[in-house]
Structure 1
């Protein structure tokens, strides 16, 4: 969707692993299940998951978080960098890692390691917050939000997703989104501080409404939305709460649903939605997220391309049989006959075609605000639907040189509307014996011309 506002996410990143197998017996030396044939899936966690999900929505995202130089942080960078801008804060200790072992899709045990903590902000992080139109704080209690608290006080976030280990949201935050268990804990702490613990009468909805109203006052937030899992969320501005139910109950893996809720709510508020509208949209998005399998189900392909074959694997298979690898590139915002003709011709040159497509932020820098019309996941899906396209790879820079250096295609194709001087990739291809070529382009076809005609009513 075009026109989505950019978002800065501030918080503590994790690296999450799922080891998924099956268990049909107990170990002989202890009454514990033996989980066999485990498959490993690695994905962003914590604030990194919230930022990643917002970026996959087609939004320009900057993530400010603590990262060290260890293997877990390097893996997280690999997962995130094609999708968003990373601003790393120095941290002591290693990046926190969370490993779940699942049998028949159900968690058996969780293993945590990494005690890394952010102790100070940087000038780059402060500069990223300065012009930010909207900020989401995803506080997992590892110090990122605390290090930037003065800047956050000066520009209160649109959403603060709290954690028992973290500090309170800054006054003026537009929406705070604790879970039910967090709401109970934070309310008990606030009432203890105020010396006036309230009794609860056994009516859970009444209790949640009391907790949300208490936290609005205690945190001096504009609103608090307590997430209630399969029952939706309760939104309070301090009185007369609004219950936002789910449209359909799902009992899938809820891992990451809170991050999905916070990322959606923050994005909608950044786009100008009212708080109630943002909470309704966030409940819908979190429900769909759980129905799709939670973080594990949605992130089966945790790096571009979101759909289709992995380009590196495809190229390796083609090269193993002595085949020729062809690559073509572009924004492909509104796919038209000129694009299709070019890609069909490119595919006939060799034994596979990899399309290198600009990320949303890259398109925006090249084409201006309002572009792309179609977000990256939609553009990739349409390209992969073409029979002539074997794989899609995404690059975030203005030009694809870095990606081409990784893929090392034998042939690089551009449309005939490019002059030789406009092909800086040509010299790069020569480094590994590749060749850049121009192919004829259907005259008069362009995404810009199509949009101009549409804006003019088709004249």
Structure 2
């Protein structure tokens, strides 16, 4: 998946230190600085998050030729940067923290929008994107006519997620999802947004005004609300997380929702995944977690760790949950079954039929999607911890290797109907079922796609 992030960049500087005394000049703490870290901010933060997720990401922006601009470019590790010229200083936000608490923030050059240039390379990067994220920080990139035209043209073909700013540009028509927070939604809609009901009203108003497919208003610890075309308003609760600094949570949500849309999930599931990933980001320490080395393993290789995940969960006293299937053309029924399965224990491992196994079971025309892409799609779901690909006709050997405590099936099965029952008995596991969602099947979906192709 090729994602292009378009928007304004800033340099974020984190100063950390220890506060053990007050200044003799005034009743303010004295910070003994112990560390300073440069970090890409604005659209650069979104791109950095995606790069850490092992996503193929390109950043379309404008950078100044000054010391802060060079430091900003150095901070964009793993990101392909296509930048025009920014006339004026690089915006810098310096956050001062002591013992995990924010003390102050110092802003430099973050006022009025600056003049910037747009070239052919930037427009080509947008035209070649499979997903576009418009990260507007009110500095002028997304107000540029050529940039807006390129994003609007792409919105007719691929998902576009727009993260707006009160001083920024109006989203172009046709975006798949816009993600203002409560304060931004209130300013943009011109109405107070306190609780869920007001957020729903603002989301519906902005969706109509912007001609967007969906608008999700984020509400911090209260999650988000979603107004989508042809659907009732939805409330998406968030995990309760004690977070001292919410910086970057909205960027994490937008990035995760965009990936989900690119993988073919619907906007409700994409927003739900974004809320969950934002909560996880805060639970792991927020922006401080970005200073730790990223997972060097791409999604498509992580299925080899399934045995390790099972053993680690078991060693910690947790419950290992597993399920199996072909998962060719992942659909809503699959996702809901997997979410229900994950709630039964402390990890969920999916045993996935290999391409050869699917061909033997379903015929020479299947699978529609290769095993590596199917594994990536499953691993992109928040509820799936690992994938184990097996080549046999049944997951019997996979069950013996994983030794799950619970083996989950979707639907009305009896134990004697399961080929893996003997293996489950050998390892002391138990088969359980979760609700089956009728009228959703891969075969029906494949037939519908064939009819319109």
Query: Scaled by the length of structure 2, what TM-score is found?
Result: 0.62
RMSD of the alignment, in Å? Answer: 3.1
Aligned pair partner of 1:25 in 21, 25, 45? 21
Counterpart for residue 36 of structure 2: 40
Q: Aligned-pair distance for 1:61?
A: 0.5
Q: Aligned-pair distance for 1:9?
A: 0.5
Counterpart for residue 8 of structure 2: 12
Is 1:87 matched up with 2:86?
A: no
SS of residue in 2 equivalent to 1:155: helix
Counterpart for residue 215 of structure 1: 206
Instruction: Check conservation: 1:333, 1:373, Cα contact below 8 A.
Output: no
Instruction: Check conservation: 1:139, 1:145, Cα contact below 8 A.
Output: yes
Deviations, residues 191-250 of structure 1 (Å, cap 9, x unaligned): xxxxxxx7x7x9722111111111111111111101111111111126731010013433
Alignment of 1:259-278 (within 5 A): 259-278=251-270
Aligned pair partner of 1:117 in 92, 104, 114? 114
Structure 1 residues 240, 20: closer, same or farther in 2, change over 3 A? Answer: same
Q: Aligned-pair distance for 1:252?
A: 3.9
Structure 1 residues 29, 279: closer, same or farther in 2, change over 3 A? Answer: same
User: Take 1:228 and 1:204, find their aligned partners in 2: how far apart are those partners?
Assistant: 8
Aligned pair partner of 2:179 in 174, 177, 180? 177
User: Take 2:68 and 2:20, find their aligned partners in 1: how far apart are those partners?
Assistant: 32
Structure 1 residues 289, 305: closer, same or farther in 2, change over 3 A? Answer: closer
Q: Relative CO higher for 1 or 2, CA cutoff 8 Å, sep ≥ 6? A: 1
Structure 2 unaligned regions, length at least 5:
306-369, 380-388, 398-453
Counterpart for residue 143 of structure 1: 140
Counterpart for residue 191 of structure 1: none
User: Take 1:274 and 1:280, find their aligned partners in 2: how far apart are those partners?
Assistant: 10
Is 1:227 matched up with 2:218?
A: yes
Aligned pair partner of 1:294 in 286, 291, 300? 286
Structure 1 residues 139, 214: closer, same or farther in 2, change over 3 A? Answer: same
Counterpart for residue 246 of structure 1: 238
Q: Aligned-pair distance for 1:164?
A: 1.4
Q: Aligned-pair distance for 1:108?
A: 1.4
SS of residue in 2 equivalent to 1:90: strand
SS of residue in 1 equivalent to 2:137: coil
Counterpart for residue 162 of structure 1: 164
Deviations, residues 398-456 of structure 1 (Å, cap 9, x unaligned): xxxxxxxxxxxxxxxxxxxxxxxxxxxxxxxxxxxxxxxxxxxxxxxxxxxxx9x9599
Instruction: Check conservation: 2:241, 2:282, Cα contact below 8 A.
Output: no
Counterpart for residue 133 of structure 1: 130
User: Take 1:208 and 1:335, find their aligned partners in 2: how far apart are those partners?
Assistant: 43
Instruction: Check conservation: 2:31, 2:98, Cα contact below 8 A.
Output: yes
User: Take 2:103 and 2:239, find their aligned partners in 1: how far apart are those partners?
Assistant: 30
Instruction: Check conservation: 1:334, 1:373, Cα contact below 8 A.
Output: no
Alignment of 1:59-458 (within 5 A): 59-81=55-77, 83-114=78-109, 117-147=114-144, 148-156=147-155, 158-188=160-190, 204-237=195-228, 240-296=232-288, 298-301=289-292, 454=391
Deviations, residues 39-68 of structure 1 (Å, cap 9, x unaligned): 212211111111111121121111101112
Instruction: Check conservation: 2:94, 2:107, Cα contact below 8 A.
Output: yes
Structure 1 residues 237, 151: closer, same or farther in 2, change over 3 A? Answer: same
Instruction: Check conservation: 2:15, 2:33, Cα contact below 8 A.
Output: no
Q: Aligned-pair distance for 1:73?
A: 2.1
Structure 1 residues 213, 370: closer, same or farther in 2, change over 3 A? Answer: same
User: Take 1:370 and 1:123, find their aligned partners in 2: how far apart are those partners?
Assistant: 37
User: Take 1:456 and 1:229, find their aligned partners in 2: how far apart are those partners?
Assistant: 46
User: Take 1:246 and 1:182, find their aligned partners in 2: how far apart are those partners?
Assistant: 19
SS of residue in 2 equivalent to 1:154: helix
Q: Aligned-pair distance for 1:290?
A: 0.4
User: Take 1:210 and 1:277, find their aligned partners in 2: how far apart are those partners?
Assistant: 21
Instruction: Check conservation: 2:114, 2:139, Cα contact below 8 A.
Output: yes
Structure 1 residues 295, 187: closer, same or farther in 2, change over 3 A? Answer: same
Moved more, 55-64 or 30-39: 30-39
Counterpart for residue 324 of structure 1: none
Structure 1 residues 84, 37: closer, same or farther in 2, change over 3 A? Answer: closer
SS of residue in 1 equivalent to 2:26: coil
User: Take 1:42 and 1:221, find their aligned partners in 2: how far apart are those partners?
Assistant: 35
SS of residue in 2 equivalent to 1:140: coil
Structure 1 residues 114, 34: closer, same or farther in 2, change over 3 A? Answer: same
User: Take 2:136 and 2:217, find their aligned partners in 1: how far apart are those partners?
Assistant: 16
Structure 1 residues 372, 245: closer, same or farther in 2, change over 3 A? Answer: closer
